[in-house]
Amino acid sequence: MSRLPAPWGSRIDRGRTVRFTFEGRACEGYAGDTIASALAAGGQWMLSRSFKYHRPRGLFSMTGAEANTLVQLPSEPNVAADLTAVREGMAVTAQNVNGSLDRDRDAIMDRLGHFMPVGFYYRTFMGPRRDSWLKFWEPIIRRKAGLGKVDTNAQHRHFDKSHLHCEILVVGAGPTGLSAAIAAAEAGADVVLCDENPEIGGSLTYGRDDPATLAGLAERAQSLSNLRVMTATLCNGWYEDNWLPLIQGDRLYCTRAAEVVLATGSIGQPAIFRNNDLPGIMLGSAAQRLMRHYGVRPGRKAVVIAADEEGYGVALDLIEAGVRVMLVADPRSGDMQGPFEAELRASGVSVQKAATIEAAEGTAGNRHLARVRVGGRWIDCDLLTVSTGKVPAWQLPCQAGAKVGHDQTTGLMTLSLANAGVHLAGYVAGDDGLEGSFRGGRRAAEAAFSRLGYEVAPNANDAASSPTMRAAHVQPVVAHPKGRDFVDFDEDLQVKDLHNAIKDGYCEIELVKRFTTVGMGPSQGRHSALATARIVAEATGRSVAEVGITTARPPVGPETLGVLAGHHLPLERRTAMHARHIALNAVMKPVGAWWRPYFYDSGDEARKAIHSEIMAVRQAVGLLDVSTLGKLELRGADAGEFLDRLYTMAHASQPVGRVRYCLMLNEMGSVVDDGVAYRMAGDRYYVTATTGAVARVYADMLFWNAQWRLRVDVLNLTGAFSGLNVTGPKARSLLATMESDIDFSREAFPYLSGREGVVAGVPVRVMRIGFTGELSYELHCPSSLAPALWDALMAAGEPHGLRPYGLEASRILRLEKGHILIGQDTDAITTPDELGFGWAVSKKKPFFVGKRSIEMRARLGQSRKLVGLRFANDAKAIPGENCLVLRGGTPVGHVTSVGFSPTLGYTIALAYVYVGDATEGSLVTVKCRDGALVDVPVVAHAFFDPANARQEM
Amino acid sequence: MKILTCPMNGDRNIDEFQSFGPVRAGLDPDRTADAEWARHLFRAENRKGVVIEWWRHVPSNYYFLAERDLVSNEIIRTFDSSDPQGRT
């Protein structure tokens, strides 16, 4: 174990040991360790094999920013080992290896690399046949280059979403973000401060800063009740009008902030030289994180690349942790000595200026760093820390509209943002050093809260300050003739790969990216974008600013689909009679959002129960809860005119007290809905719509009237009103026994008329319509009173043999009558003519929606028609819904509804057939599910009671 | 997520709204050739520039007009369809 004593290791609890396995081998860590830090403490530095060449890779940034640390957990692939806490019993394995991590049979790929030049995929897998890619190459590549395995039996986790509102959101709780959040909160603003790390402080938690600095800031932050600090929270994108997703564990906070301060800090950049990817080579900040967060000594003998003060700080830290620093290599020449450098020189460590790391070499199989060559001299070491400059963390700023620039003299990437509600602070704004960070944070906070109308403290003059200039240096790109000088670790891309792409003519950065895949891996260009821009700029004779970087889009980091989906909140609607149905043993089924009785379980088998419900309707009387029907009330002087324009029949001329069928078309002339309209008064109609379509019908009505501006109001009463259909030959005698002011007699209340009144003390509007084909009264009333009406009907109906019936009986009853269901018996192109509904289309009206199109379509000729089919009881097969109707082997239509009719004693169906076959007696061929072809005769739509004697009695 | 200012309900998240596309010149069905009618039904203009579009606030089922720049996605203004100042 290479653990350092406390106070090294701020995140770990040495009192609690955690046992886990890696590649089947028993390992140990402490509570608070990540997988990578626990493994490093045990001497396991290699974590993965690279994507293309299967080279050993280890931790590099300790920020989860690259593919190097992706490992497999039993139920989760692509877990970042340097971010994910290690847990007791965790079984961690390497991914993308053939065999084991240590002995990967595909390590040979590293020597075959020259057979796989850049663009290899595009060039190689084109043939030999058109489908070779899908059939042959893709399966091989997927096996060789897959990243992890998905466990399709993984346990569901609980995910949820929350909404968060604040005046100022500060992203990043480093010194900049902390000072911004504190300044804004002290001015009185409602502030949220988020950071992906488990604690606040950012670089203050691992850098060489006085611990009292962070302690002081933390104390001030804690004392502010209007500052909410959210740690372990990833801000994963910026969307318009300051809407930002914050992900904390399995919860997504959908956050809306009036002002946003982005203090996202910097990203350390790798140096480019031969074998710069060996385990043991890491960012200086990664070495500091290992030591200060986890108490892990990152090596025994180190070479330190220090192109800035921070690099010298890393060297000092290493010395304090007992690491032998063999050499500090500073690529800069000249004298720009800072305090850390002075301190280091005083300790006697050798410092080489104008130094270049030329190459590194590994142990056997390149499993770990063995030596590095600096200025022609090989130095043995097992650790190389890299501090060769940083780039601003540009992802969120660029999503918010920031433009990337490049300072040619300093070699630094810059950001400029013209978005009034978003403020850059700290390194992304050009502030450098601790004092610069504090000033930058306060400056952004002042800009944000002054926009909100808060007063800026009189002694604060940070707003006027400008970002401090940073130390200038240029990160070296040392290309090697033998390659393995990686620009992008994720995609195994070397300097020559980019040069080859440019030679092939891909000179624009977006094209270079697409051809080489640079920046497409999990790091999303964090470690490669600047180097790529510089290589392309140099090769094409342009400036880095002209070349630019590729577009940054959300998400900033990987996110699980569960976080996006949230938890399952199904929308569910119940009618007012729901409890009555349950009490009557109804088997409930979902119909869209609604739950409806499918049938009432009488202890018999389902088929028999349904048949007896049908027979009750045909022979006595049944009761159906039709509350899910759409119910719209239209009021106003132009209500009739409005219906005339929307529906195909004439409604303005409809007498008061009459009920009329309504058929709605869309502009294309296709049938989209039907129902009935009951004219309750000259300026008042009660209109029904189908359960599934009412929301759209209601929306469409208002959209049309936003354009027509007729004098009509539309009220959607679907939930407010309930409907009960009393249907069957004994319906009238049942209602006649009830206490009511309505005369239900045939003479006073004929078919297709409506009445308002009171039944059993409940105010009702009653319509005589006949979906079942029997004498029917449909009673509509306020939903709050519907259960009372149901109870009264059930009680009064007992002597008449009243039975409640369910959806399946209703479906068969209407099929026996040949009544269509919109959406089941119609599709997107059904015209009224195809349904035989010419009677329902007014020939007199000058206009209704769809009129122009059905006239035009009629001229094009009709190809199909909906007809009835009758199946003999000895038919060799019965088709299901959607089975094809064939004509000479060619599909000409399909079956839309099918069922056995207990009333008729045989199976009936509705189907679209070729229009020439749509005459009674024609034989059509139906292909059943098992492939059997059945010839069946065409019959009239109305299988039962075609003369309508029963419903009109 | 973008915020859209509804003339009736004020500032709301744009996922509460449904776009119904640009306001189109009404065609007289009786004076339109079949080909032109089919084009009216199935083709939509999608030129760069500023358009006036129908929008619906879904929870309140309220329709209104919005002037929007299709290039920058800036919503320049929103107004009720009866607003005489609105129609320009």
State the CATH number of the domain containing residue A380.
3.50.50.60
Contact call for A698 and B37, based on CB within 8 A: no
* pLDDT 10s digits, A815-852: 999 999 999 999 999 999 999 999 999 999 999 999 99
Tell whether A671 and A780 lie within a shared domain. Answer: no
CA-based nearest residue in chain A for residue B73: A240
Q: What is the CATH number of the domain that holds A705?
A: 3.30.70.1400
Q: Is residue A824 part of a domain?
A: no
**Domains of chain B in sequence order:** 37-88 (3.30.2270.10)
- Average pLDDT value for residue range A774-797: 97
Over chain A, what is the mean pLDDT? 92
Tell whether A317 and A189 lie within a shared domain. Answer: no
CB neighbour burial string for A431-466, b if at least 16 within 10 angstroms, e if fewer:
bbbbebbbbbbbbbbbbbbeeeebebeeeeebeeee
Contact call for A698 and B61, based on CB within 8 A: yes
Distance CA A341, CA A70 (A): 35
Tell whether A780 and A869 lie within a shared domain. Answer: no
Distance CA A624, CA A613 (A): 10
* pLDDT 10s digits, A648-658: 999 999 999 99
- Average pLDDT value for residue range B23-50: 89
Dihedral of CA atoms A600, A604, A610, A612 in degrees, nearest 10, equals -100
Secondary-structure percent of chain B, ordered helix, strand, coil, rounded to 5: 15, 40, 45
* pLDDT 10s digits, A443-501: 999 999 989 988 776 555 555 556 655 555 666 677 888 889 999 999 899 999 999 99
Tell me if residue A939 falls in helix, strand or coil.
strand
Q: How distant is the Cα of A706 from the closest Cα of chain B, in angstroms? A: 7
Of the pLDDT bands very low, low, confident and very high (cuts 50, 70, 90), residue A567 is confident
- Average pLDDT value for residue range A49-68: 92
| pTM confidence score | 0.85
Contact call for B3 and A667, based on CB within 8 A: no
Q: How many residues does chain A have?
A: 953
* pLDDT 10s digits, B9-25: 999 999 999 999 999 88
**Are A420 and A444 contacting, i.e. CB atoms less than 8 angstroms apart?**
no
Nearest to A241 among B1, B29, B38 (CB): B1
Q: How distant is the Cα of B50 from the closest Cα of chain A, in angstroms? A: 19
Q: What pLDDT does residue A145 have?
A: 62
- Average pLDDT value for residue range A175-183: 97
Q: What pLDDT does residue B8 have?
A: 95
Distance CA A324, CA A946 (A): 101
Q: What pLDDT does residue B86 have?
A: 57
Distance CA A704, CA A666 (A): 12
* CA neighbours closer than 13 Å in the CB half-sphere of residue A334: 7
CA-based nearest residue in chain A for residue B29: A852
**Are A675 and A666 contacting, i.e. CB atoms less than 8 angstroms apart?**
no
Q: Is residue A142 part of a domain?
A: no
Pick the range with the lowest mean pLDDT from A262-271, A516-525, A742-751.
Answer: A516-525
Q: How distant is the Cα of B34 from the closest Cα of chain A, in angstroms? A: 7
Q: Is the pLDDT of residue B75 over 50?
A: yes
Q: List phi, psi (to 5°) of A324.
A: -80, 115
Q: Is residue A153 part of a domain?
A: no
* pLDDT 10s digits, A619-632: 999 999 999 999 99
Contact call for A243 and B2, based on CB within 8 A: yes
Tell whether A237 and A340 lie within a shared domain. Answer: no
Q: Is residue A28 part of a domain?
A: yes
Q: Is residue A3 part of a domain?
A: no
Distance CA A192, CA A224 (A): 11
Nearest to B41 among A256, A667, A709 (CB): A667
Give the sign of the dihedral formed by CA A253, CA A257, CA A261, CA A267: positive
* pLDDT 10s digits, A702-730: 999 999 999 999 999 999 999 999 999 99
Distance CA A293, CA A317 (A): 13
Q: At what angle do helices A639-646 and A694-708 cross, to 10 degrees?
A: 110
CA-based nearest residue in chain B for residue A666: B41
Both tokens assigned to A145: 């280059």
Distance CA A360, CA A96 (A): 24
- Average pLDDT value for residue range A761-781: 95
Contact call for A703 and B63, based on CB within 8 A: yes
Q: What pLDDT does residue A308 have?
A: 86
Tell whether A384 and A291 lie within a shared domain. Answer: yes
Give me the amino acid identity at B77: R
E strand spans, A509-580: none
Tell whether A329 and A421 lie within a shared domain. Answer: no
| Domain final residue, candidates A80, A101, A125 | A125
Tell whether A31 and A120 lie within a shared domain. Answer: yes
Q: What pLDDT does residue A146 have?
A: 60
Contact call for A243 and B56, based on CB within 8 A: no
Q: Is the pLDDT of residue A365 over 60?
A: yes
β-partners of residue A93 are A72
β-partners of residue A864 are A914
Q: Which residue has the tokens 């139920």?
A: A75
Tell whether A803 and A784 lie within a shared domain. Answer: yes
Q: Is residue A143 part of a domain?
A: no
Q: List phi, psi (to 5°) of A836.
A: 75, 30
- Average pLDDT value for residue range A344-373: 92
What is the total count of domains within chain A?
7
Nearest to A703 among B13, B34, B56 (CB): B56
Q: What pLDDT does residue A285 have?
A: 96
- Average pLDDT value for residue range A429-444: 92
Q: What is the CATH number of the domain that holds A508?
A: 1.10.10.1100
Element at A383 (helix H, strand E)? strand A383-387
- Average pLDDT value for residue range A269-295: 96
- Please indicate if any CB of chain B lies within 8 Å of the CB of A667: yes
List the single best residue of B5, B31, B61, B82 to mutate versus A (max A Cβ within 10 A). Answer: B61
| Domain final residue, candidates A683, A716, A749 | A716
Both tokens assigned to A255: 């956050």
Q: Percent of chain A scored above 90 by pLDDT?
A: 76
CB pairs under 8 A between A and B: 48
ipTM of the complex: 0.95
Q: Is residue A919 part of a domain?
A: yes
Q: How distant is the Cα of A807 from the closest Cα of chain B, in angstroms? A: 30
Both tokens assigned to A138: 């893709």
Closest to A385 in 3D by CA, of A476, A288, A486: A288
Q: What pLDDT does residue A151 have?
A: 85
Tell whether A87 and A71 lie within a shared domain. Answer: yes
Q: How distant is the Cα of A699 from the closest Cα of chain B, in angstroms? A: 6
Q: Is the peptide bond before A476 cis (omega within 30 degrees of 0)?
A: no
Domain extent, residue A640, equals: 630-716
Tell whether A291 and A371 lie within a shared domain. Answer: yes
Both tokens assigned to A495: 């300097």
A709 interaction partners in chain B (CB closer than 8 Å): 81-82
List the single best residue of B16, B34, B56 to mutate versus A (max A Cβ within 10 A). Answer: B34
- Average pLDDT value for residue range A764-770: 94
Q: Is residue A867 part of a domain?
A: yes
A240 interaction partners in chain B (CB closer than 8 Å): 1-3, 73
Q: How distant is the Cα of A255 from the closest Cα of chain B, in angstroms? A: 10
In this structure, the number of other CB atoms found within 10 A of the CB of residue A24 comes to 9
Which residues 6+ apart lie within 8 Å of A699 measured at CB? B56, B61
Q: Is the pLDDT of residue A410 over 80?
A: no
Contact residues, chain B to chain A, C-beta under 8 Å: 1-3, 13, 20, 29-30, 32, 34, 37-38, 41, 54, 56, 61-64, 73, 81-82
Q: Percent of chain B scored above 70 by pLDDT?
A: 94
| Domain final residue, candidates A388, A412, A432 | A388
- Please indicate if any CB of chain B lies within 8 Å of the CB of A482: no
Q: What is the CATH number of the domain that holds A783?
A: 3.30.1360.120
CB neighbour burial string for A291-304, b if at least 16 within 10 angstroms, e if fewer:
bbbbbbbbbebbbb
Q: Is the pLDDT of residue A387 over 90?
A: yes
Q: What pLDDT does residue A466 have?
A: 60
β-partners of residue A658 are A753
Identify which of A107-121, A157-171, A445-459 has the greatest average pLDDT: A157-171
Q: Percent of chain A scored above 70 by pLDDT?
A: 96
Distance CA A628, CA A526 (A): 55
Contact call for A852 and B61, based on CB within 8 A: no
Q: How distant is the Cα of B47 from the closest Cα of chain A, in angstroms? A: 23
- Average pLDDT value for residue range A212-230: 97
Identify which of A33-42, A74-83, A869-878 has the greatest average pLDDT: A33-42
Tell whether A623 and A637 lie within a shared domain. Answer: no
Of the pLDDT bands very low, low, confident and very high (cuts 50, 70, 90), residue A397 is very high
Which residues 6+ apart lie within 8 Å of A111 measured at CB? none
* pLDDT 10s digits, A570-607: 889 999 999 999 999 999 999 989 999 999 998 889 99
Chain centre distance of CA A1:
43
Closest to A783 in 3D by CA, of A718, A714, A712, A874: A718
Q: How distant is the Cα of A854 from the closest Cα of chain B, in angstroms? A: 11
Q: What pLDDT does residue A470 have?
A: 56
Q: What pLDDT does residue B88 have?
A: 45
Tell me if residue A160 falls in helix, strand or coil.
strand
Give the DSSP per-residue string, A311-357.
HHHHHHHHHHTT-EEEEEEE---S----HHHHHHHHTT--EEET--E
Contact call for A699 and B29, based on CB within 8 A: no
Tell whether A18 and A35 lie within a shared domain. Answer: yes
- Please indicate if any CB of chain B lies within 8 Å of the CB of A706: yes
Pick the range with the lowest mean pLDDT from A278-287, A456-465, A520-529.
Answer: A456-465
Beta-strand pair A671-681/A659-665: antiparallel
